[in-house]
Amino acid sequence: MRRKTLASAFYKEKLHKMVEVIRECSRLELAEWKADLARGINSFDLIQKIQNYEVKIILTCAFGEEYDDKKVKWYVNGELTTTTLGFCLRRLFEQCFRRNVNPCIFFFPSLTSSFRLTGNSEILKNAALVRTQIREMVADRKSGKTKSRFEGADLLSILLTDEIFQASPEGIVDEILTFFFAGSQTSGCAVSNCLAHLIQDPTRK
């Protein structure tokens, strides 16, 4: 990442707009859960549901769309496959996190650039594929090929009108990746805490 400034997207009034995006995502997600119950689906994998919900929120806040059906190239054990953008971003974050907490790197950070683990080359290939995909998505929005459902409220819309980033496509890609990786942790903690409080609330049982 090459972030050198606080993006205008993170100024207070812009964040308020993103809250509305999150509310709309939450309403749609709740409607899906209720529809499942109406169809007789009374059990589901809560962890998977929450993970998907988090990714939807972050992608919508970043791009103005959930991109549920957005297919991205992805290497698995040396073979090139395709999967969803949300899965790629989440998986890439997990792989990078595991690498950074490896004892050799954790205790000897000077080895970060030279230390190699099994699968490192594949992580680098997948990181390059993800960057390429996001770069194309930025170009499509900039050219008007795609539009946001929340024009002016999502991160990409804001960055494209920010003079600091207008001449820096790579800076926009960096900012979006930073947004996703940082947001995945804060969103996960927020949702987990919310569920914990609901479970302990006797009026909600």
Superfamily of domain 8-204: Cytochrome P450 (1.10.630.10)
Please state the rounded mean pLDDT for residues 167-176: 87
Res 1 pLDDT > 50: no
Max Cα-Cα span within the chain = 56
Beta bridge partners of 76: 79
Alpha carbon 1 to chain centroid distance?
15
Predicted pLDDT at 75: 93
What is the per-residue pLDDT across 67-104, written as a single tens digit (0 to 9) for each?
777 888 999 999 999 998 888 888 888 887 777 777 87
Q: For the residues 40-62, what does the mean pLDDT come to?
A: 83
**Pairwise CA distance, residues 110 & 55, whole Å:** 33
Phi then psi for residue 118, to 5 deg, are -60, 130
Backbone CA torsion sign across 167, 64, 144, 91: positive
SS3 content of the chain, % helix, strand, coil (to 5): 70, 5, 25
Higher pLDDT, 116 or 148: 148
> Which residues share a beta bridge with 80?
75
Cα separation, 22 vs 182, whole angstroms: 16
Q: Which pair of tokens denotes residue 122?
A: 């594949």
pLDDT band at 58 (very low <50, low <70, confident <90, very high): confident
Strands (DSSP E) contained in 15-156 are: 71-76, 79-84
Burial 80-113 (b: 16+ CB within 10 A, else e): eeeebbbebbbbbbebeeebeeeeebeeeeeeee
| Percent of the chain whose predicted confidence (pLDDT) is above 70 | 86
